[in-house]
Amino acid sequence: MCGIVGAVGFISPKEYVFKGLKMLDYRGYDSAGVAYFNEGIQIYKDVGSVEHLLTIVPEKIDTNIMIGHTRWATHGAPTKLNTHPHLSFHKRICLVHNGVIENFKELRSFLIEKGYSFYGETDTEIIANLIEYYYLQSGDVIETIKVVKPLIKGSYAFVFFTSDDPNTLYVLKKASPLVIGLGKGFNLVASDASPMIDYTNEFIELDDGEFGYVNKEDAVIFNKKGQKTIKDPISKDVELISHDLKGYPHYMLKEIEEIPQTIKRLISCYFQKGKYQFDKELLKDLNESDHIIFIGCGTSYHAGLVGGRYFEKYGKSASRFIASEWAFHPTYPGKKPFIIMISQSGETADLIHCLTIIKEHNLKNLIITNTGGSTLDRNCMYSLLLHSGVEVSVASTKAYVAQVTLLAMLAGALVNDKKVVDDLRESLDVVYDIQDHYKPLIMKVADEIKDKKNIFYLGRSFDYFLSLEASLKLKEISYIHSEAIPGGELKHGPIALIEKGIPVIVFITDPDTAASMRGNIEEVKSRGAKVYTIATKKLSRPEDTIMVEDYAYYLSSVAVSPIAFYLAYYVALAKGLNVDKPRNLAKSVTVE
C-alpha cells in the first residue's frame, strides 16, 4: 500500500504535502517523490524516506499545485526510476497511484504499438501513458477518464494533473481509498483524512468507480456511470485520526500504552446503561446462523482464532481461516453460515478478494475494522468499528486487543451475558498493573534474548493463541526467527529444535492446562532451554519470571498481550531497529 497526497490552490502546498507524506509513510516507505508545476512540470523523487526527499527539493517552491507519493514497492523494484510521480511519454500527464494494475502488460503492449516507450518497470507509468494517449485525442480530461476507466483492471487511487492545466487535480478510485479535503480557496486530496485534519474537517470519501477533479474553488465528482453527482461532506473525530506521537519516542510504544483507553472506549461504545449496544438485525442474523466463519490475515487472523472460541463458548459452531487460503478454497458449512471478517486497516487485499466471493454467494457478513470509510467498512453488510484511534506502527498492538475485546462483547451479547464486561474491566486492571510494574523486568528479558537466533513461545488453548500473536510481533519487528508451539504438540516434533540456551517463553494463565504446561517446561528445560514463564497469581510458582494478577483466563489476549508487545518492542529497540517501520512490511497489504 502506498500513500498519496495532493493540494491545489494552497498557499504553501510544500508544507502540506511533506507533512502529509510523513503521516502516510506507514503505508509504504521504500521511496518517495513529489511533483509540482512551475514553468513546466517539476519532479523530485528518490529511493528512501520522506526526510531524505526533503533534502533534495528546493527550499522555496512557488506553485499552485503539488502531488506527493510514498511507495511500498509491488510492481518494479524500489529504484529511483520506479518511484512516483510518473511522467507520461509526451510529458503531458503527471500521476501518482496507490494500488495494483492487473492488466498492465496488455496495456503496455497496446501503447508500444502506438509508439510509446517506458523508462521504468511500474504498472503506474503505463497508466500515465494510457491517459496521455487518449487525452491527446480528445483534449478533454474528463472524457479521457471515461474512456480509460473501463480499460483498467485492478485496484487504484490515481491523482494527476496535466501540463496544459496546472490548476486542476484529477482523481479516480477503485478499491484503494481516496479522500478529498474541502478548503476555502484550496482543496486537498489524500489516501486518508489524517494529513488534512489540520486544514479542514470537511471530507468527501470517494466510492469505487467515482472520479472527478478539484481546483482551488470546486470539488466536482462523477459517479461510476460518469454522471455529475453531489456528495455531502462528512467530518471526522480528530482524536481518532490524529497522528500526534504525544511525546512518545515511537508509535508502537504509544499504541501499547493506549490499550487501557482502547478497552474502556469499546466498553463505553458497545455497553451502555447495563445494555449491549449492537445492531439488533446483526444479533438476530448471528443468533440464527448455524455456523460462524472467522477470516483475517496476520494479527487479525489471530484475533479471529480467539473470537471463534468465544462464539463456541455460547454453543455456536465456528471455523477460522487465513483470508488468502479461504479466498481460493471458500468453505462455508451450515445452512445459515455467517462470515466475520477482521481487519485493522479495512483495506487488506486478501479480504477484499474474500468479500467478492462472499457477495457472489450472498453470504451474510460483518467486518470488524479500525478504519471507518475503508473499502471493507463501506462494502460489507454489517460493520463494527474498533474506535481505537489511528494505529500507525506497522506492528498491530492496540487494534489486536480491541478486536479480541469486541469479539468477546459481541459473543456475550448473543446471550446477553453481561459478565463479559465485568471480566473485561478486571482485565483492564491487569493491564494497568503490567504497565505500572513490569516494564523494567520485560526490558531485562529483552536484553537477555536480543541476540538469539531462535525464540519459541509455548502455550495451550487461549495461551497458544496469545503465543501465536506474541511470536508474530517479535518476528516482524526484531527479525528474530520465532515460533509459537501448542504445549501438547511439543513432543510431536518441535522439541527437536530445543537446545542449550534457546529462550522459551511460556504463558500459563489457563487453570485447565496449567499442570500440563508445567510438564512442558520440564521437558524443554531438560534439553537446555532458558525458560521465561508468565503466569497468573493462582497458577504461579516462585521461579516464574512474571506473575500477573488473576483475571478471567479466556481474556488472555486482552490482559497479557501487552507483555508480549513490550517484549517485542524492547528487543527491537535494543537491536537499534526501526520499530515503527520494520523492513519489507507495510501497515496494510493491498496486494494479494
Task: List the catalytic residues.
Answer: 2, 587
Q: Which amino acid is at 61?
A: I
Q: Cβ of residue 395: shortest distance to ligand AGP, in angstroms?
A: 4
Mask for 289-308, x = binds ligand AGP (CB under 6 A): --------xxxx--------
Number of helical (H) and strand (E) elements in the chain, helices listed first: 20, 26
Q: Cβ of residue 589: shortest distance to ligand AGP, in angstroms?
A: 5
| Number of Cβ within a 10 Å radius of residue 400 | 32
395 binds ligand AGP per the rule CB under 6 A: yes
Residue 172 contacts residue 149 (beta carbons within 8 Å): yes
**Of the candidates 525, 315, 314, the residue with the CA atom closest to the CA atom of residue 417:** 314
Bond preceding residue 195 cis, omega within 30 of 0: no
Residue 169 contacts residue 142 (beta carbons within 8 Å): no
Q: Which residue is nearest to ligand AGP (CB)?
A: 298
- The C-alpha R_g of the chain, in whole angstroms, comes to 25
Q: Which of 190, 352, 394, 531 binds ligand AGP (CB under 6 A)?
A: 394
Site size toward ligand AGP, by CB under 6 A: 14
Residue 326 contacts residue 301 (beta carbons within 8 Å): no
Q: Cβ of residue 248: shortest distance to ligand AGP, in angstroms?
A: 18
Query: Using CB atoms within 10 A of its CB, is residue 29 exposed (0-12), middle (13-18) or buried (19+)?
Result: buried
Cβ-based nearer residue to ligand AGP, 19 or 398: 398
What are phi and psi for residue 476, nearest 5 degrees? Answer: -70, -20
Cell of 167: 490548476
Long-range CB contact pairs, 514-517, < 8 A, 24+:
514/539, 516/460, 516/487, 516/488, 517/458, 517/459, 517/460, 517/463, 517/487
Cβ-based nearer residue to ligand AGP, 83 or 405: 405
The residues in 332-391 that bind ligand AGP, with binding defined as CB under 6 A, are 343-345, 348
Q: Cβ of residue 74: shortest distance to ligand AGP, in angstroms?
A: 14
Cβ-based nearer residue to ligand AGP, 423 or 476: 476
Q: Cβ of residue 520: shortest distance to ligand AGP, in angstroms?
A: 27
| Cα gap 216→187, rounded to integer Å | 6
| Cα gap 525→43, rounded to integer Å | 60
Residue 402 contacts residue 388 (beta carbons within 8 Å): yes
The residues in 445-504 that bind ligand AGP, with binding defined as CB under 6 A, are 476
Residue 534 contacts residue 467 (beta carbons within 8 Å): no
Q: Cβ of residue 323: shortest distance to ligand AGP, in angstroms?
A: 8
Helix locations, 289-374, DSSP H: 298-313, 323-326, 349-360
Q: Cβ of residue 374: shortest distance to ligand AGP, in angstroms?
A: 9
Cβ-based nearer residue to ligand AGP, 2 or 547: 2
Cβ-based nearer residue to ligand AGP, 63 or 388: 388
Cβ-based nearer residue to ligand AGP, 9 or 304: 304
Cβ-based nearer residue to ligand AGP, 111 or 256: 256
The residues in 520-539 that bind ligand AGP, with binding defined as CB under 6 A, are none
Q: Which of 375, 396, 482, 557 binds ligand AGP (CB under 6 A)?
A: 396
- SS3 assignment, position 367: strand
Q: Cβ of residue 592: shortest distance to ligand AGP, in angstroms?
A: 12
Cβ-based nearer residue to ligand AGP, 205 or 476: 476
589 binds ligand AGP per the rule CB under 6 A: yes
401 binds ligand AGP per the rule CB under 6 A: no
DSSP H or E stretch at residue 42:
strand 41-47
**Of the candidates 2, 31, 28, 349, the residue with the CA atom closest to the CA atom of residue 190:** 2
The residues binding ligand AGP (CB under 6 A) are 297-300, 343-345, 348, 394-396, 476, 588-589
